[in-house]
Structure 1
């Protein structure tokens, strides 16, 4: 990726979106670009951290794994997303594993370079703090979902989030690409592949969605929203 392309992506990231282009260019110059193939591990939990990553293209998923090999996705970062900033600021090891869900390009910034950059540009430090606060909210929401919602609700919520990326103002017929296997979806939802497959089939059978290969078409937005929110509103609208 060219220097100009790096700067363009960085300028849109949560870390740099309010910084002058000259400052963004300075950060780009300090970075090292890496190509990560689909399925390749970027770093592992408890590995000594040497720096953080900013996604240029593709999709990187942060997850934890238990002793039985079952995964729980924590967050997914696409272009402009940041990974491992917690370890850079607290001096500890990487808090999770990170894997490429598709071929991706990332920028690596060493801990020393990040610290130096933040001291020179306090506004970037505030942006990093805001980004970590956003992720804390995501983790809190994830904990709530795992404790209080069933797989049907979590799947409906995931589909709505992906649909909104394609069309912020949702309407029947919106379609989007979901290039994930059922096992990968299960990891995001804290479930297993068989349950995800059955739940997707129910949504199809009830005319809520249509599956065309890796594309999902939302046929009934109202029904999908109802499925995502059923327990929150104390209703019993679970698909059966």
Structure 2
């Protein structure tokens, strides 16, 4: 995997994925406030969701230790839940709204019909599904093969936005260190220490709940392997 493979850009306003709800007739707009629980496994047995704005965290929590692992953070242009959509089985997860969000809710049966009959929908859905599979593989690789310092480096690399000729971070730029720890499979204290190391190395700048990329070249040099 090259350095550039680790860099993703945010979905722009003119990307067609944001028009996906226009393909469905039976839909409902739902608004969630920060701190709420969004949809649950019962909901996603019956409905499919298109994220229009905000951020919703999907995670798994060990009931014995209360340790949390963030699986993904859904934002504008994302869809949920492709797992239940495809296999029809209940999917255990916890959804937490970490930024005021809007979603479009569509009956899951209607979406299954679109997969079989609508070429335009399929042209959006299957590339998105492939990206989800790739993201899951990258998460497994990170947790298995890299220490926390390198997991954070790779997380930053995957969330660089270069749209408009300006390099910045998306998705993770305003997350708390607790949320970042859940993303990289660690704890806040360890993440704090490694973020400070990246700051000392001149790669990032830190302020309260904000990470700013300071030196892209240095980051890419660190990601070489």
TM-score (norm 2): 0.81
The answer to which structure, 1 or 2, has the higher relative contact order (CA under 8 A, 6+ apart) is 2
Q: Supply the RMSD in Å over aligned alpha carbons.
A: 2.9
| 2:110 aligns with one of 97, 110, 113 | 113
- Asked which structure has the greater CA Rg, the reply is 1
Asked whether the 8 Å contact 1:44–1:96 carries over to 2, the reply is yes
Structure 2 CA distance, aligned partners of 1:156 and 1:35? 33
**Residue deviations 1:76-100, cap 9 Å, x none?**
2211111102212211113532222
Which residue in the other structure is 1:72 paired with?
69
Gaps of at least 5 residues in structure 2 are 1-11
Gaps of at least 5 residues in structure 1 are 1-7, 17-23, 234-240
Which residue in the other structure is 1:144 paired with?
141
Structure 2 CA distance, aligned partners of 1:110 and 1:85? 13
Which residue in the other structure is 1:217 paired with?
212
Which residue in the other structure is 2:192 paired with?
197
Matched, 1:13 2:17: yes
What is the CA distance between 1:26 and its match in structure 2? 4.3
Structure 2 CA distance, aligned partners of 1:117 and 1:9? 23
Change in CA separation of 1:161 and 1:94 when aligned onto 2, cut-off 3 Å: same
Would you say how many aligned residue pairs link Structure 1 and Structure 2?
Answer: 212
What is the CA distance between 1:136 and its match in structure 2? 0.9
Asked whether the 8 Å contact 1:208–1:223 carries over to 2, the reply is yes
Matched, 1:187 2:182: yes
